[in-house]
Amino acid sequence: MIREPPSFFHHGPSPLARLTFFVIAAIALMIADHRFHALEAVRLSLSVFAHPIQQFASFPAHALGRMGDYFANQERLLNENEDLKAKVLEQSAAAQESRLLRAEQEHLLALGAGRSRYADRGTVAEVLYTARNPFTRKIVVDKGVTQGIAAGMPVIDGSGVVGQVTSVGAFTSEVTLVTEKDQSVPVMLVRNGLRAVAVGSGKDGAIDVPFMPVSADVQSDDLFVTSGIDGTYPPGLLVARVVSVEKNAAYVFAKIVAKPAAGVENHRYVMVLPLPATPLPRPETKGEEARKPGKERGPRTRR
């Protein structure tokens, strides 16, 4: 059997012919795809197979980008957290200051003419500090002789009687609170007009009402106001509210404990009321009437 030896060189189309063929084929495919969308299905199939390859190829860059964004966001969040903490502290201080200012404003409005009939004659004073002696219940205000303050003037706030001016300086005054021991205020019971004397107990911020008979009509939650019979406190100022009444038949007097109506140790501003212009008249005795000048005498009888 005779076989022909293989040819040493493979002969085919020339490179120029092949280039021309593929160029023409590519142009034909582009025209067919552009005009007739002939390769739409082929393109869709190829995209389905190529999508996982694209995802796998872009995964490292995507992971590095996510990691960079994570650290950048962490740093940004830390900075924002620090800024927010600083703003919270600033807002907290501002909120506390606003609450204090609002409380002081309400208290000053309580001292104003709309809430107190004595506002047009009183002097608003600021409480500077408490007295140096820790065993006494006294406060020091920023008004003194230069502002017309005198010893004995009553001191009130928007709720009731605070105390009485007991010592006056040039620019400050000392006020003894109604809860101070032996500090007395003539009072009257609002419900039935019963008169009494409220005396500071000097402890627990309470006020005692001594020398009230057991038969006296006093009940819990009764209100005591100033009676005005002493000529120092104007009548009608709220002094205290009764918190307990103990009546024992074995004793002559009842034990009555009340709480001051005013914020004796709370508020920052108080009002100092002036003393009466003229003292209250006193009853005259027969001896004083006989010594009174210009007294007309009866006609003399002749002998």
Going by C-alpha positions, the residue among 131, 246, 108 that lies closest to residue 179 is 131
Which pLDDT value is given to residue 249?
A: 82
Q: Tell whether 289 is covered by a domain.
A: no
Higher model confidence: residue 200 or residue 231?
Answer: 200
Which pLDDT value is given to residue 35?
A: 77
Above pLDDT 70, what percent of the chain? 77
pLDDT at 113 over 50: no
Q: Tell whether 287 is covered by a domain.
A: no
Confidence of residue 124 (pLDDT cuts 50, 70, 90): confident
Q: What is the pLDDT of residues 148-167, one digit of tens each?
A: 999 999 998 878 889 999 99
Q: Tell whether 3 is covered by a domain.
A: no
Domains held by the chain: number: 2
> What is the mean pLDDT of the segment spanning 124-138?
82
Q: Tell whether 279 is covered by a domain.
A: no
Pairing assessment for the beta strands 212-213 and 207-208 based on DSSP bridges: unpaired
Least-confidence region, from 41-45, 185-189, 251-255, 289-293: 289-293
Query: In this structure, which amino acid lies at residue 285?
Result: T
pLDDT at 89 over 50: yes
Going by C-alpha positions, the residue among 126, 124, 118, 109 that lies closest to residue 233 is 118
Examine the domain organization and report whether 143 and 240 are in the same domain: yes
> What is the mean pLDDT of the segment spanning 103-131?
68
Examine the domain organization and report whether 208 and 96 are in the same domain: no
Examine the domain organization and report whether 22 and 42 are in the same domain: yes
Higher model confidence: residue 111 or residue 90?
Answer: 90
Which pLDDT value is given to residue 302?
A: 47
Q: Tell whether 298 is covered by a domain.
A: no
Examine the domain organization and report whether 142 and 201 are in the same domain: yes
Query: For residue 205, with 0-12 CB atoms within 10 Å meaning exposed, 13-18 middle and 19 or more buried, which class applies?
Result: middle
Which pLDDT value is given to residue 55?
A: 79
Examine the domain organization and report whether 76 and 215 are in the same domain: no
Query: In this structure, which amino acid lies at residue 18?
Result: R
Q: What is the pLDDT of residues 249-295, one digit of tens each?
A: 888 899 999 999 887 777 788 889 888 765 556 666 666 555 655 54
Which pLDDT value is given to residue 31?
A: 83
Examine the domain organization and report whether 157 and 241 are in the same domain: yes
Least-confidence region, from 51-55, 89-93, 133-137: 89-93
Examine the domain organization and report whether 127 and 252 are in the same domain: yes
Question: 37 is in which domain, residue-wise?
Answer: 17-111
> What is the mean pLDDT of the segment spanning 10-33?
81
Residues whose CB is less than 8 angstroms from the CB of residue 170 and which lie 6 or more positions away in sequence, other chains included: 144, 145, 146
Tell me if 195 sits within 8 A of 188, measured CB to CB.
Answer: yes
Q: Tell whether 135 is covered by a domain.
A: yes
CA angle, corner 100, sides to 131 and 80, nearest 5?
A: 130
Q: Kindly list the distances between the CA atom of residue 66 and the CA atoms of 54, 73, 76, 79, 272, in Å, as whole numbers in the listed order.
A: 17, 10, 15, 20, 72
Examine the domain organization and report whether 186 and 244 are in the same domain: yes
Least-confidence region, from 37-51, 112-126, 202-216, 264-278: 112-126
CATH number at residue 192: 2.40.10.340
Examine the domain organization and report whether 130 and 162 are in the same domain: yes
Average pLDDT score, the chain? 79
Q: Tell whether 294 is covered by a domain.
A: no
Residues whose CB is less than 8 angstroms from the CB of residue 123 and which lie 6 or more positions away in sequence, other chains included: 143, 147, 148, 149, 271, 272
Which pLDDT value is given to residue 114?
A: 38
Above pLDDT 90, what percent of the chain? 25
Examine the domain organization and report whether 101 and 127 are in the same domain: no
Examine the domain organization and report whether 48 and 164 are in the same domain: no
Which pLDDT value is given to residue 296?
A: 47
pLDDT at 204 over 90: no
Q: Tell whether 297 is covered by a domain.
A: no
Going by C-alpha positions, the residue among 268, 260, 264 that lies closest to residue 102 is 268
Examine the domain organization and report whether 104 and 201 are in the same domain: no
Which pLDDT value is given to residue 165?
A: 94
Confidence of residue 222 (pLDDT cuts 50, 70, 90): very high
